[in-house]
Every structure is written in structure tokens, then in C-alpha cells.
Amino acid sequence: MLISQAFGGRSTDTETTVRSGLLELLEPGDIILADKGFSSTKTDIEKHGGILVMPPFKQRGRQFFTRENLSGYQIASVRIHVERCIARL
């Protein structure tokens, strides 16, 4: 668990992630679950040995492929447990 300094409301998800020091704590193979606001941090996370996992995002005018649906369900089932743990804290 990391508790960083507070950041103002105008800080982007990427800026907050980089400035918080979280990336320096990553160990090879660590998995980061994130939403679309974090797609620009993928390179930074991978440089530190981490793996960024994000649900598939629907693109305008097309439906998900079967594999995208399955991936989304798997990620969502894990995220539920993470959110429950956070709520307990």
C-alpha cells in the first residue's frame, strides 16, 4: 500500500501516478489494474517491470469481439475484490 502526498484537482491520472512514487516501488511482474485514464502510463509502468491491465474500451460504432468480452468479465471479477478490500480500509 502506498499513501502519497495529496495532489490538486487539476492533476491528471498520469501525473499523479508518476509523481506519487508508485512506479519506483514496482517489482518485475507486478500487475496494475487501471481504467482508461491510465493508458498513457503504460510505457512508464513497463519500464519499471510492471504490467498494465485495463478493460477493453468500446470504440464508436462497433461491438466487442468475444475475446474482448471475456477479458472484460475476467478483469471485472478481479476488480470487485480489489474494490472490496479498499472499502474495508
Better-scored residue on pLDDT, 11 or 61: 11
Q: Where are the domains of the chain?
A: 1-54, 55-89
pLDDT in tens, 14-28: 888 888 998 999 999
pLDDT in tens, 21-77: 989 999 999 988 887 778 788 888 999 999 988 887 777 767 878 888 888 788 888
Nearest partner of 18 among 28, 29, 32, judged by Cα: 32
Helix (H, G, I), strand (E, B) or coil at 8: coil
Query: What integer pLDDT is reported at residue 64 of this predicted model?
Result: 78
Burial of 3 (0-12, 13-18, 19+ CB in 10 A): exposed
Alpha carbon separation from 41 to 30, 38, 49, 73 (Å, rounded): 14, 5, 13, 23
Query: What integer pLDDT is reported at residue 29 of this predicted model?
Result: 93
Q: What is the mean pLDDT of residues 2-22?
A: 85
pTM above 0.75, yes or no: no
* Cα 21 from Cα 46, distance rounded (Å): 15
The distance from CA 87 to its chain's CA centroid, rounded to whole angstroms, is: 17
Query: What integer pLDDT is reported at residue 49 of this predicted model?
Result: 92
Burial of 54 (0-12, 13-18, 19+ CB in 10 A): middle
